[in-house]
Each structure stands twice: as C-alpha cells, then as structure tokens.
Amino acid sequence: MSELIDLSNPKEAAVLDLLALAIAADGHVDTSEIMFATDRIKVLLGLNEANDGDLVREIGAKIGECIQRLKTDGTEFFMQCAVANFETAEEREMVFALCAALVCVDGHLAPDEAEFLTQLRVLLGMSEAQVLCGVVGLATQLAQQNAGCCCDHEGCDCQKD
C-alpha cells in the first residue's frame, strides 16, 4: 500500500499526532472518532479520491503508532513537539478546532478530553476568549445552516419564497 499521508511533512505528521492525542484523551478509541479523523484528513490533505478503506487502515495504524509513542514520550512532551509545527494563528485555530470537534464527535466531552483541550489551548498560545469566539462563530454557522425562517415572508429579507 502506498503512503497516503506524508509523515515526512512536519505539519501533516503534527496534525495526525494531535488527532491521536485527542482520540486517546478519554482512554479509549471510538470508531466514530477514527471515521471523523479520516474524513477531516481527506479534506485537509486533498485526498478525496483516496480509497476510504485504505485511508482508514493507514490512519488507524498511524494513530496506533502515535499512541504507543505517547506511552514512552509522555503526553506533554508529545503535545509540545506537535504544537511547535504550527506557526500562524490560523493554523493554531484550525488544529484546535479540529481536535475539539474530534473529542465531541462521540456525543459527549469526558473530563480527560476537556483537560486535553485546555492543555492544547495553552500550548497553542490561545486565550479562553479566542476559543470562545471560535465556538460562537461555529454555533452561528450551524444555526444559520439549520434555522428555518419563522416569518411570513412579507418584507422579510430571508429570501425564502
């Protein structure tokens, strides 16, 4: 099988490392987390034509390797090494949002996952206000996507007819 993820690229490797940390944060690996990670990695790396089965297997193997390294290197060191690869505010915000979405994909936020996100936020140099603004922005997008118009369409600029 050819490598679909270029781990010689430090940013790609760092994203995968942080996703592995996010997946392992609550002590177990959930299938929905692996599938979410696979979908996001496909988008981020432009692998839309990649075979899902091959990509899932490769990501699963890489995450397994990351989790094994966690046991020897320790979480904080592992996180510091990964975070050092993100130079811009946009990259740091993107990787935080990706990890936050991943830990929530199984429908709940465990205390260990919340601690992971707090540690990640601090290491990325993000303030609580920055994270809150990101959450509000995402909530606004979701509300706009899912909201139905409750007006009578007379004099309304919702553009629903």
Question: Which residues 6+ apart lie within 8 Å of 75 measured at CB?
Answer: 21, 119
b (16+ CB within 10 A) / e for 96-114: bbbbbebbebbeeeeeebe
| 82-137 tens-digit pLDDT | 999 999 988 898 889 888 888 888 788 889 889 999 999 999 999 999 888 877 77
Structural domains in the chain plus CATH codes: 10-146 (1.10.3680)
pLDDT digit string, tens, across residues 42-53: 776 666 665 667
Q: What is the pTM of this model?
A: 0.73
